[in-house]
Amino acid sequence: MKEREYYEPRLRYIDFCRAILFSLGVILHSAWLLKAQSTFLTHVHDFIHSFRMESFFLIAGFFSAMTLTRNTPQYFLRNRLVRLLLPLVVWGSLINIFLNCALRGSWHDVSFVESATYWLHEEWLGHLWFLGTLILYVLLIYGLHEVFPRAIDFFRKPFWNLSLILMSVLGLHQGLRFIYHLTLHDRYITLVVTDLEEVLNYLPVYLAGYVFFHHRAMLQQLVDKIVVNSAGVALFWAASPFLHSYWGGQLRQAWAVIYSIQVCAVLFWIARTFFNRAIPALDALSDASYTVYLVHWPLMAVLYRLMLPSHLPTLLLFLVLAIVTGILSYALHHFVISRSETLLLLLNGRLEQGPQKRGLTAWAPSTIVSDTSLLS
């Protein structure tokens, strides 16, 4: 079957949210390094961590459905494996060695790479576990489309509504969590490229993104509920201090699933309201965001280790780490990686060249939806 190209306006507000979620990784890891020294940074870390990956996987599911609707399953599989697997192998096996040296505080001893534990226990992955998780989701969705193509029609049925989608996400999440802790929690299971618990944890929101693509009116309905979603987010944090009992913890854990979707909806509303248009600086950030996330954690860990001992106040050190790492990561993409076809392929998984190669974002009002730029 011939692969198809699909032309439609760029989904700028969703693409913008994806870039913001990637960029928040810089702030998250800066806070993580210093949270033991600051209660404020602990709260910053915990807040970002409470929704960032759920929102990211929801967006990934949305764009996966888009690609499969516009192209063949074979194209989807090939495109995603190149986009995800190459950077995973290159960054994980080479660049993350510097990350682990920095975290261990030893620049000369790399004997840990000779240990099977380093590879089998996913230590080599560092922050790249999400790529392995996405690869498994890609294989799952590809298999459904290829082996059971009619099963996909279930996600397109008109009986879906917003309440059913949310309750299905919650029910599947709790069901998978129960099965994992009942049968798999105490067993040694290694997937090498990701963690099984993380795979099961984020699968429901990934599938929610897939369903939302086929029912975009419901996604807009969710995004339009800005008052309800904002109130839900505020109530979640207001109630959290009172949910320390066993059953309170269970309630908070289940509530967090709906909460994360509400935060994502708030982000969508903000992006759609204020940033759903061509803004060259934001388009350039979106283009670089994948590289920024891949490189920022090894780079930040090395910078932090080189700065020790630091006599800077904790919050100032946090800002220095976040700002310097962000700038260097952004510059690395636009002035090094995007200017080399080889580096763009190995470090970013991109096969194509064009305006994005030079860091430009000359998107016409109607242009090809770039599967690779949207990292689904």
In a domain, 118, yes or no: yes
Pair 350, 249 in one domain: no
Which structural domain range is residue 300 located in?
15-49+277-376
The answer to whether position 173 is within a domain reads: yes
Report yes or no on 121 lying in a domain: yes
Position 3 in a domain: no
The model's pLDDT over 294-303, given as tens digits with 9 standing for 90+, comes to 999 999 999 9
Whether residues 244 and 133 fall in one domain: yes
Q: 255 with 229: CB under 8 angstroms?
A: no
What is the pLDDT averaged over residues 303-317?
92
Looking at the fold, whether 215 and 320 belong to one and the same domain comes out as no
DSSP tally for the chain: helices H, then strands E: 15, 2
- List C-alpha distances in Å: 200 to 125, 169, 180, 301: 18, 12, 8, 29
- Is the residue at 9 inside a domain? no
SS3 for 125?
coil
Instruction: Mention every residue, 6+ apart, whose C-beta is less than 8 A from residue 35.
Output: 41, 42, 44, 45
Pick the last residue of a domain from 264, 290, 318. 264
pLDDT at 189: 80
Is residue 103 scored above 80 in pLDDT? Answer: yes
Cα separations in angstroms, 256 against 42, 138, 154: 18, 25, 27
pLDDT, tens digit, 9 for 90 and up, residues 286-295: 999 999 999 9
Q: Mark whether 296 and 323 lie in a shared domain.
A: yes
One domain, residues 283 and 206: no
pLDDT tens across 140-193, in order?
A: 999 999 998 888 888 889 999 999 999 999 999 999 999 998 888 777 788 999
120 and 238 assigned to the same domain: yes
Of 41-45, 103-107, 214-218, 343-347, which range is least confident? 103-107
Residue 176 backbone dihedrals phi, psi, to 5 degrees: -65, -40
- pLDDT band of 19, cuts 50, 70, 90: very high
Same domain, 230 and 159: yes
Structural domains counted in the chain: 2
Q: Are residues 213 and 310 in the same domain?
A: no
**Domain-ending residue, one of 213, 243, 264:** 264
pLDDT more than 70, % of the chain: 91
Residues 317 and 363 in one domain: yes
Residue 2 within a domain:
no
Query: Contact at 8 Å (CB) between 99 and 298?
Result: yes
Q: What integer pLDDT is reported at residue 360 of this predicted model?
A: 34
Q: Does 299 fall in a domain?
A: yes
- 254 lies in the same domain as 342: no
Report how far apart, in Å, the C-alpha atoms of 272 and of each of 110, 193, 195 are: 47, 34, 33
Q: Is the pLDDT of residue 339 over 80?
A: yes
Contact indicator for 205, 60 with CB cutoff of 8 Å:
no
Contacts of 50 (CB under 8 A, 6+ apart): 256, 259, 260, 263
Average confidence (pLDDT) over 88-94: 95
Please indicate, yes or no, whether residues 66 and 205 belong to a single structural domain of this protein. yes
In a domain, 174, yes or no: yes
In this prediction, residue 152 carries a pLDDT of: 84
Alpha-carbon distance 305 to 106, whole Å? 10
Q: Cβ(33)–Cβ(321) under 8 Å?
A: yes
Res 4: pLDDT: 45
pLDDT tens, residue by residue, 106-154: 888 899 999 999 998 889 999 999 999 999 999 999 999 999 888 888 8
Boundary of a domain, candidates 264, 285, 311: 264
- Find where tokens 């192209």 sit: 71
pTM score above 0.95: no
What is the C-alpha to C-alpha distance for residues 118 and 125, in angstroms, rounded to an integer? 9
Same domain, 106 and 202: yes
